[in-house]
Chains A and B, each alone.
Chain A
């Protein structure tokens, strides 16, 4: 936790389109980081916030590779090195018979990486965030489209007025509660 409480100017919009315009404008004119909050993925947020591509596919790809290599290595080590048994004269290294488990290990590791990787990358679980200080933000998961601007030297009152002009239904100014 940082020692200095972060401050955010927030604005809630009824329509995603208005929010997108405002988010884009804020990103271009304000120093602090702009974030958008929507109840469902809205097309255009990535462009409005100029987000780079997600890292998740690379993460999952790496997981899959580890799964496949690890799975096959496990099978090979168990069947050939650690516990070689002759079953009906079949080769100890029975590559075709190793395919199904190798495949499943690849899937398992991809799934685990996708789930835990994405949560860790997004920083969850994290039950508290300053944006929750705004009472109106409770509708951000239901039917309102919010943006937040972390203050980095801008005047909060001026920002709020500007957001109102951009069509915000309500605006707010919140401060992080430090323990």
Chain B
């Protein structure tokens, strides 16, 4: 792209992706600095809040297991609610990590280098949070493996493979495994560099063990890069398949509001949209506090905001097609659903969703707003809220008014539902803080490679 831009207009010279001195030692040390620095008070403050929230999460899970899932607000007809809303929301957030690390790698987008490790970690923790919900929703999590995975048991009963819910199990567990392996493989050279830069005996040993003894031999780099690129290659269709399959959970049902073919692409775009928003939400404060402004530059943030704007329009298109199809179907149930969505008891949520996901991203048309830290941070939080509301609306609005008026009912979450949701946010935050503390959040070896390239080709 950069080459193309230069050919078309030689006057366009993109801002550098790395600012300041770019020798290998300085870059390594600036990226590793947050790992060596003594733990900051602010870190402890946030960590304690998140730890408390994690305690709340596990108490809520414990209570659910003890009393049964009746302590959740969902019931017939709204049989799916917070559990699946949050599941889809978290999975969607995870997708941006894979998109940044895998798809942008395949497209050779150099700007991914500084943010890929960060977003991959986000993916991992988000998928853990997501997977918690369906497992707890089974009511007896210790049986979950037996119901979900085809493992030989003496009962001779096997899962029902024609159901998208079983597809989901395979998709999400494959997604978690692949993301973890991809992240760890990418981390190896940096763990070796941490081993070689550390002075403490224990840190040397620990980083030494986790680096598996990596020594950066030419033969190894050849195989390593091949494996890494292939993992990116399989992660790319994987990420698309995961959210497609998540959308099948709904799209294969006959319920008005769910039964539509736009769901797979619209879910995937929504996942990328919300995931990028979450990256911005996390990275804006993190680069400030970790002193990573030289490698995570405004150009990176601006590029992410452009992706948010673009995927925001795909999502908006999805909303338009949904509304059009409801009207064009001529089905009184589909029309009824449309009426409920726009004017029913949950209508404020729908209009709030439209505001957050369609109106708010439009500010990114303006360059100065795209580059303002405060503006993008607030906008990204709006998008996170908007995308949560989108899943709420898809699930609750569709379920609470189905075909027979006799089965209509309202829905409200219970305190346990809310604790679980807030709890996973804190659990995610806790994992993320630990990651920022002990692992370099920027891939030092990739940044050095980029700097080397920039010195030689003036990218």
List residues of chain A with CB under 8 Å of any chain B CB: 16, 23, 35-42, 45-46, 48-49, 51, 54-57, 60, 64, 74-75, 78-79, 82-83, 85, 87, 90, 94, 97-98, 100-101, 103-105, 107-108, 110-112, 114-115, 117-119, 121-122, 124-129, 131-132, 138-143
Binds A, one of B12-20, B67-75, B229-237, B298-306: B229-237
Taking the closest CB of chain A, its distance from the CB of B361, in whole angstroms, is: 31
Q: From A41, A56, A138, name the one whose CB has the most chain B CB atoms within 10 angstroms.
A: A41
**Nearest-neighbor residue (CB-CB) of B191 within chain A:** A141
Residues of A within 8 A of B225 (CB): 41
The reply to whether B25 and A114 contact each other, CB–CB distance below 8 Å, is no
Binds A, one of B165-173, B383-391, B425-433: B165-173
The reply to whether B218 and A49 contact each other, CB–CB distance below 8 Å, is yes
Residues of B within 8 A of A40 (CB): 189, 445-446, 448-449, 452
Instruction: Answer whether residue B197 sits at the interface, using C-beta atoms and an 8 A cutoff.
Output: yes
The reply to whether B224 and A79 contact each other, CB–CB distance below 8 Å, is no
Instruction: Answer whether residue B178 sits at the interface, using C-beta atoms and an 8 A cutoff.
Output: yes
Which of A46, A118, A139, A141 is close to B227, meaning CB atoms less than 8 Å apart? A118
Known: A40-B446, A141-B216. A104 touches B170 (CB 8 A): yes
Taking the closest CB of chain A, its distance from the CB of B349, in whole angstroms, is: 31
The reply to whether B241 and A118 contact each other, CB–CB distance below 8 Å, is no
Residues of B within 8 A of A139 (CB): 196
The reply to whether A78 and B161 contact each other, CB–CB distance below 8 Å, is yes
The reply to whether B177 and A112 contact each other, CB–CB distance below 8 Å, is yes
* Cα A140 to Cα B215 with chains together (Å): 8
Taking the closest CB of chain B, its distance from the CB of A32, in whole angstroms, is: 15
Which of B166, B181, B212, B445 is close to A111, meaning CB atoms less than 8 Å apart? B181
Residues of A within 8 A of B141 (CB): none
Binds A, one of B39-47, B150-158, B273-281, B286-294: B150-158
Residues of A within 8 A of B25 (CB): 142-143
**Nearest-neighbor residue (CB-CB) of A122 within chain B:** B220
Selected A-B contacts with CB under 8 Å, 30 pairs:
A35-B218, A36-B217, A36-B218, A37-B218, A55-B223, A56-B223, A56-B226, A56-B230, A57-B230, A78-B161, A79-B158, A87-B160, A90-B162, A94-B161, A94-B162, A104-B174, A104-B241, A108-B178, A114-B185, A122-B223, A122-B224, A125-B209, A125-B213, A127-B212, A127-B213, A129-B213, A141-B196, A142-B24, A142-B196, A143-B448
The reply to whether B227 and A56 contact each other, CB–CB distance below 8 Å, is yes
Instruction: Answer whether residue B245 sits at the interface, using C-beta atoms and an 8 A cutoff.
Output: yes
Which of A45, A60, A115, A142 is close to B185, meaning CB atoms less than 8 Å apart? A115
The reply to whether B178 and A39 contact each other, CB–CB distance below 8 Å, is no
Residues of B within 8 A of A100 (CB): 164, 167, 170-171, 241, 245, 248
* Cα A85 to Cα B157 with chains together (Å): 10
Residues of B within 8 A of A112 (CB): 177, 181
* Cα A49 to Cα B158 with chains together (Å): 53
What band does the interface of chain B fall in when counting residues whose beta carbon is under 8 Å from A?
A: 35 or more
B contact patch SS: helix
Query: How many interface contacts (CB-CB < 8 Å) are there between A and B?
Result: 190
The reply to whether A111 and B231 contact each other, CB–CB distance below 8 Å, is yes
The reply to whether A51 and B222 contact each other, CB–CB distance below 8 Å, is yes
Instruction: Answer whether residue B159 sits at the interface, using C-beta atoms and an 8 A cutoff.
Output: yes
* Cα A60 to Cα B233 with chains together (Å): 11
* Cα A39 to Cα B217 with chains together (Å): 9
Residues of A within 8 A of B448 (CB): 39-40, 143
**Nearest-neighbor residue (CB-CB) of B214 within chain A:** A124
Residues of A within 8 A of B449 (CB): 40-41
Residues of A within 8 A of B222 (CB): 45-46, 51, 54
Q: From B173, B222, B227, B449, name the one whose CB has the most chain A CB atoms within 10 angstroms.
A: B227
Instruction: Answer whether residue B28 sits at the interface, using C-beta atoms and an 8 A cutoff.
Output: yes
The reply to whether B216 and A110 contact each other, CB–CB distance below 8 Å, is no
Instruction: Answer whether residue B193 sits at the interface, using C-beta atoms and an 8 A cutoff.
Output: yes
The reply to whether B234 and A118 contact each other, CB–CB distance below 8 Å, is no
The reply to whether B182 and A104 contact each other, CB–CB distance below 8 Å, is no
The reply to whether A98 and B161 contact each other, CB–CB distance below 8 Å, is yes
The reply to whether B227 and A39 contact each other, CB–CB distance below 8 Å, is no
